[in-house]
């Protein structure tokens, strides 16, 4: 990042002298993304909704280190070349490297959380790795043209073990005028960014109210976001913006049984029926709705495990299987709320 900052300073100086039209592209110097308490993620546009299919993704620190070495070499070269090469080409290269290093930052944040989790939750991930082995075997059978009925039954049974629905205490469906089924949800937050909270609420409500089919019940989430100020949570003095916090101790400051939206993690994630903790890296509105669905009792219909040795020099190779269900929980990037998800909520939270 230091080499990029040096190249940026040289290019900005040249642009002001010889090509002012390029100055707007150079307004912001390269900088690391802020982390910690009170930091909300940048919002990115949703990708298109699309059918979800099972696929494996792997994340390796060793591979990332090799890519970073190449990027750092290019950044150092840019510093040397910045004073004499064609200006437009150098500005374009600066932007490319800036995006590459932002991507590296996002991957490092991901590893910072999950490499630690693999070690601290060893029994949980040992069970997850057994499921990874089953999914790989099942996918190999699918690719090999195995019996469709057997594959469908194995997929259904595996998904029941992977992502059982767990109702959240205190939630109840209300029937409103015209027969619409509404699920009121109260969410406590110490986030003070009004614009982000408005986007979060809109993302949740619009994602769940779109009817997945003509036969689907009329259903809506009615989300009420209640503020609880950092000074109320921390009467002795709230953490500074960007401060590192211990998440379990932080969550314990909220009222018992509350559904919580907060900040301060390395990577955005949720705990079913309890909380959403935001990391610093960009998210889409659909991803926010996916995380909110965890508060309603849904679990990820994708699988995270690992290969290799978590205690080795590069840690574990993190393995993700996404798309094990064709819905929002199977893929937070392209999945959708399905009629089956809505009917699950209606059955779980109907007034009895």
Say what the pLDDT of residue 349 is: 97
Per-residue DSSP letter, 21: G
Q: What percent of the chain has pLDDT over 90?
A: 62
pLDDT grade for 77, boundaries at 50, 70 and 90: low
**Which pLDDT value is given to residue 293?**
98
pLDDT confidence band for 87 (50 / 70 / 90): low
* Confidence (pLDDT) at 49: 86
- Round to whole Å and give the CA distance between 269 and 287: 10
**Helix axes of 2-18 and 87-120: crossing angle, nearest 10 degrees:** 160
Which carries the bigger pLDDT value, residue 350 or residue 92?
350
For residue 294, count CB atoms less than 10 angstroms from its CB and return exposed for 0-12, middle for 13-18, buried for 19 or more.
Answer: buried
List the chain domain ranges: 2-26+61-119, 122-160, 166-349
pLDDT of residue 16: 58
Q: Using one digit for the tens of pLDDT, what is the confidence trace for 270-314?
A: 999 999 999 998 999 999 999 999 999 999 998 999 999 999 999
User: Does position 11 have pLDDT exceeding 90, yes or no?
Assistant: no
DSSP 242: T
- pLDDT bin (cut points 50, 70, 90) of residue 65 is confident
Tell whether the model's pLDDT for residue 59 goes beyond 70: yes
What does the pLDDT look like over 207-266, one tens digit per residue? 998 756 656 678 999 999 999 999 999 999 999 999 999 999 999 999 999 999 999 998
20 pLDDT more than 80:
no
Residues 250, 233: Cα–Cα separation, whole Å? 8
Class of domain 166-349: alpha beta
Phi-psi region of 323 (alpha: psi -120 to 50; beta: other; left: phi over 0): left
State pLDDT tens for residues 120-137.
Answer: 999 999 999 999 999 999
3-state class (DSSP) for residue 141: helix
d(CA 134, CA 129): 9
Using one digit for the tens of pLDDT, what is the confidence trace for 149-207? 998 899 999 989 999 999 999 999 999 888 889 999 999 999 999 999 999 999 999 99
């Amino acid at each position: 990042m230091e080499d990029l900052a040096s190249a940026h300073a040289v290019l900005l100086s040249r642009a002001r002298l010889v090509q002012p039209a390029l100055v707007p592209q150079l307004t912001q110097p390269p900088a690391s993304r802020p982390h910690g308490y009170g930091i909300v993620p940048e919002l990115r546009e949703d990708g298109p909704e699309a059918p979800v299919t099972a696929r494996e993704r792997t994340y390796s620190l060793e591979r990332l280190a090799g890519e970073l070495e190449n990027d750092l070499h290019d950044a150092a070269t840019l510093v040397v070349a910045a004073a004499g090469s064609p200006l437009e080409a150098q500005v374009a290269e600066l932007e490319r490297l800036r995006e590459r290093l932002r991507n590296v930052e996002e991957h490092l944040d991901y590893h910072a959380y999950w490499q630690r989790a693999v070690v601290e939750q060893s029994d949980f991930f040992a069970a997850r790795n057994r499921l990874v082995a089953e999914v790989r075997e099942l996918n190999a059978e699918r690719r090999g043209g195995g019996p469709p009925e057997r594959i469908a039954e194995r997929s259904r049974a595996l998904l029941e073990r992977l992502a059982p629905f767990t109702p959240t205490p205190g939630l109840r469906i209300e029937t409103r005028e015209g027969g619409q089924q509404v699920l009121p949800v109260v969410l406590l937050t110490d986030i003070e960014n009004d614009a982000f909270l408005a986007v979060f609420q809109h993302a949740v409500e619009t994602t769940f109210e779109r009817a997945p089919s003509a036969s689907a019940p009329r259903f809506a989430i009615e989300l009420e976001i209640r503020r609880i100020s950092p000074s109320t949570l921390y009467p002795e003095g709230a953490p500074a913006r960007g401060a590192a916090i211990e998440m379990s101790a932080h969550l314990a400051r909220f009222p018992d049984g509350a559904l919580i939206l907060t900040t301060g993690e390395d990577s955005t994630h949720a705990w079913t029926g309890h909380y959403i903790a935001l990391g610093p890296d960009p998210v889409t509105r659909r991803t926010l709705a996916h995380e909110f669905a965890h508060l309603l009792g849904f679990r990820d219909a994708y699988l995270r495990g690992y290969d290799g040795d978590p205690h080795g020099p590069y840690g574990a190779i993190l393995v993700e299987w996404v798309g094990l269900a064709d819905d929002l929980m199977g893929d937070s990037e392209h999945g959708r709320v399905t009629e089956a998800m809505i009917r699950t909520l209606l059955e779980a939270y109907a007034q009895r």
